[in-house]
Structure 1
Amino acid sequence: MQRTSHYRAVQLIAPSQVAGSIFRQSRDSGVIWLWRKLITEDNRAWCLANRKQTRLSNGSCLIATFISTHPRARLFTRVKKAETLYYIVKGSVAVLIKDEEGKEMILSYLNQGDFIGELGLFEEGQERSAWVRAKTACEVAEISYKKFRQLIQVNPDILMRLSAQMARRLQVTSEKVGNLAFLDVTGRIAQTLLNLAKQPDAMTHPDGMQIKITRQEIGQIVGCSRETVGRILKMLEDQNLISAHGKTIVVYGTR
């Protein structure tokens, strides 16, 4: 399936007077998301209506591509050469790997405010190390590494925030490796449910936090079959730790 069937993309360029103001605000207040400031509802409407290229106050061009995706749309594949960086404006995505038979394992979820595809920024010619697929309807901004490097010359705080995200992801990866090594499948599923209850798309419930996820997807996170997930969810339900009805799971006592 072609990528173009999954999303619509337009050039995202801010009016010069707005962009200059944003840069001043960003420098004054420290770490303010430049892209978040650029991609406001008003700015986005202007960009969609005009689709023109203007210049920022420091004289450098900033051209980002605004992408709107459907749930389960593929943003990029592992074998694709890394040339651009993504920033999640709205929604969440799944980062996953596949084996030769197409079996998937979900490494993590990324949400609004997260960058994607940062590894190629530090090593030119690098191929993508994973697949990224939209978990929900998403809006993302895409910018070339070249343009991003120009951007961080003006505002190095953005690079610091990106580095902080990378450090946090390394910590999450270390925890996941530890869980795979030291927890049995029941422990891994229980820990996964607790982690999912902290995700931005989890909803409050009188008894805890409510999440929506399939048994197959839980299996892809912890590395077991859908049937095994079903049995363990039933056991956790019998222990009055959760309630599970279809894709809806309430994790008790997590608020």
Structure 2
Amino acid sequence: MIQTIAEKIARDPAMQALFSSGLRRQYPRQHVLLPEGSRPSSLYLLMAGTLAVSTRGKDGEDLLLAYFHPGDFFGEMGLFPDVSARSACIQTRTECSVLEIGYDRFLNLTRTHPTLWIEVASQLAFRLRAVNRRLAEMPTLHAADRIWLVLQELALRADAPHVAEGKLLRVTRLDLGKLAGCTRELAGMVLRDLATDGRVILRGQNVIVRTDALTPAQPVA
């Protein structure tokens, strides 16, 4: 059974302690929460909404790397030695509720609740596996296959909403193209082809990835 972040906090004493120790903050959509290159000082937990993770390309263009969803930690790299600056920009896509906790306070909490490290580390490992998979597979794939890879990656997240036909994704054609390394127009064309093939259902601005088309992602060693 999929747990929401509220359910996880209600059932997990370590998460309850974290929630009690942090500061709850609200941010409007399109707000730059963490600028790239800023000095890290806090760990964050997304409680509600969606965040976009991006970085600057060599030509100054914005490169979309990933989304963060409720239950995701971010800002964890600043907990490691010799990390003196944020490596990416974190910006809200929707109105967001975020729990912020300073690194020192988080480290103190882990002395009595060491499972917090497991929670943060497991999310970091999941992201690294996803990056490894993309690096291994995307350079050899056509645009249509890259888009399908991204859709599966988003749909296989535990927090992707279930509907009768499959997993519901709220992703724009523009963002899908950025994640897959192609144009918005090409992303739209591929989505229509995937709908014809029966792998997705297009419902307004939303994409439903059909359950019977999903295959579990395999980690790349």
Q: TM-score, normalised by structure 1?
A: 0.69
Q: 1:125 to 1:182 in 2, by over 3 A?
A: closer
Which runs of 5 or more residues in structure 1 are unaligned? 1-21, 39-61
Do residues 155 (structure 1) and 110 (structure 2) align? no
Stretch deviating more after TM superposition (215-224 or 127-136): 127-136
Alpha-carbon displacement from aligned partner over 1:1-55 (angstroms, at most 9, x marks no partner)? xxxxxxxxxxxxxxxxxxxxx9xx83xxxx545324x3xxxxxxxxxxxxxxxxx
Cα deviation, residue 246, structure 1: 4.5
Cα deviation, residue 224, structure 1: 0.9
Q: TM-score, normalised by structure 2?
A: 0.79
Tell me the secondary structure at the aligned position of residue 144 of structure 2: helix
Partner of 1:84: 42
Alpha-carbon displacement from aligned partner over 1:160-196 (angstroms, at most 9, x marks no partner)? 2212222222111111212322322111111222222
Which runs of 5 or more residues in structure 2 are unaligned? 1-8, 215-221
Do residues 96 (structure 1) and 54 (structure 2) align? yes
Tell me the secondary structure at the aligned position of residue 67 of structure 1: strand
Match of 2:17 among 34, 46, 52: 34
Are the aligned partners of 2:28 and 2:92 in contact in 1 as well (CA < 8 Å)? yes
Cα deviation, residue 76, structure 1: 0.4
Aligned equivalents of 1:33, 1:161: Cα separation in 2: 13
Alignment of 1:114-133 (within 5 A): 114-124=72-82, 126-133=84-91
Do residues 190 (structure 1) and 148 (structure 2) align? yes
Cα deviation, residue 127, structure 1: 0.4
Aligned equivalents of 2:150, 2:144: Cα separation in 1: 10
Look up the equivalent residue of 2:167 and give its one-letter code: M
Percentage of matched positions with identical amino acids: 26
Partner of 2:124: 166
Q: 1:112 to 1:208 in 2, by over 3 A?
A: closer
Partner of 1:14: none
Tell me the secondary structure at the aligned position of residue 94 of structure 2: coil
Do residues 202 (structure 1) and 185 (structure 2) align? no
Aligned equivalents of 2:41, 2:15: Cα separation in 1: 24
Alpha-carbon displacement from aligned partner over 1:62-89 (angstroms, at most 9, x marks no partner)? 5x33211223322101111111111122
Look up the equivalent residue of 2:163 and give its one-letter code: T
Look up the equivalent residue of 1:166 and give its one-letter code: L
Aligned equivalents of 1:168, 1:65: Cα separation in 2: 26
Look up the equivalent residue of 1:218 and give its one-letter code: L
Tell me the secondary structure at the aligned position of residue 204 of structure 1: coil
Aligned length, in residue pairs: 202
Aligned equivalents of 2:83, 2:166: Cα separation in 1: 46
Aligned equivalents of 2:93, 2:136: Cα separation in 1: 25
Aligned equivalents of 2:24, 2:47: Cα separation in 1: 9
Aligned equivalents of 1:114, 1:232: Cα separation in 2: 29
Look up the equivalent residue of 1:176 and give its one-letter code: R
Alpha-carbon displacement from aligned partner over 1:90-133 (angstroms, at most 9, x marks no partner)? 23322222225543332222222221111111125510011112
Do residues 213 (structure 1) and 171 (structure 2) align? yes
Are the aligned partners of 2:29 and 2:95 in contact in 1 as well (CA < 8 Å)? yes
Q: 1:155 to 1:252 in 2, by over 3 A?
A: closer
Are the aligned partners of 1:196 and 1:202 in contact in 2 as well (CA < 8 Å)? no
Cα deviation, residue 140, structure 1: 0.9
Structure exhibiting the larger radius of gyration computed from Cα positions: 1
Structure with more relative contact order (C-alpha pairs < 8 Å, separation 6 or more): 2
Tell me the secondary structure at the aligned position of residue 163 of structure 2: strand
Match of 1:251 among 203, 209, 212: 209
